[in-house]
Amino acid sequence: MLKQITVVSDRKNWINDHIPKWLPTLKEFAEEIIWIHEVSELTVGDMAFFLGCEQIVPRVLLSRNRHNLVVHASDLPKGKGWSPLTWQILNGDNEIPVVLFEAAEKVDDGPIYLREQIVFEGTELIDEMRLELGRKTIALCNRFLREYPTVIEQAKDQHGESTYYPRRTPADSRLDPDLSIREQFRLMRVADNDRYPCYFELDGSTFEVKVEKRR
């Protein structure tokens, strides 16, 4: 059994909805479980899982754990960077790769241990997609723990050209009032109604559009 597992997530990241129920189950794998929101609080341990963490982690902090693990929703080295799920949905992709890899000093650049996939139908909104990605994220972490240490032998270095997604801003949720709903539905799917809802500008006024699926 491991001595310590640390989970690191940003304070306002959606993945936090999944972590509280997961933490008690980690007692199967380690004596001590720690959940923090600032990488500066990392202590010496066996494993650190960085989930929904957009902070840069310098080498001196990575060295505090034997393994530093990240889950990322793209086919690395393609799709490094910000909001990979959102950008792929906007590109028309509904088959989303999800990988678990070893963190390196360079962002999204370490060897990959596990690779799985989520398949969407094409009508899911962001909350539904995050729910599935959250489940897959936890499942990959659990699989790594169950298969450790032999899973380390499966590590594969990233090969091929790296591509990068930029950070999204509120302006990325802007709709064109002259286009149809169908033409802009991908953008509506990924809009967060609370943090960055869709909006459009018309005749000098700005209007918000919040899309919810009828149950």
CB within 8 Å of 100: residues ≥ 6 apart: 69, 70, 71, 112, 113, 114, 115, 140, 141, 143, 144
| Contact assessment for residue 133 and residue 73, using Cβ atoms and an 8 Å cutoff | yes
Other CB atoms within 10 A of residue 56 CB:
9
User: Counting beta carbons within 10 angstroms of the beta carbon of residue 141, is it exposed (0 to 12), middle (13 to 18) or buried (19 or more)?
Assistant: buried
Dmax over CA atoms of the chain, in Å, equals 64
DSSP bridge partners of 19:
none
Per residue of the chain (215 residues), give pLDDT as tens: 999 999 999 999 999 999 999 999 999 999 999 999 999 999 999 999 999 999 989 999 999 999 999 999 999 999 999 999 999 999 999 999 999 999 988 878 899 999 999 999 999 999 999 999 999 999 999 999 999 999 999 999 999 999 999 999 999 999 999 999 999 999 999 999 998 999 999 999 999 999 999 88
Q: Output the pTM of the full model.
A: 0.94
What is the C-alpha R_g of the chain?
Answer: 19
Give the span between the Cα atoms of 49 and 215, in whole angstroms.
35
Q: What is the pLDDT of residue 105?
A: 81
Taking alpha carbons only, the member of 86, 158, 174 closest to residue 126 is 86
Residue 187 phi, psi dihedral angles, 5° rounding: -65, -40
Coil, helix or strand for 200?
Answer: strand
- Domains of the chain are 2-165 (3.40.50.170), 170-209 (no CATH)
Coil, helix or strand for 121?
Answer: coil
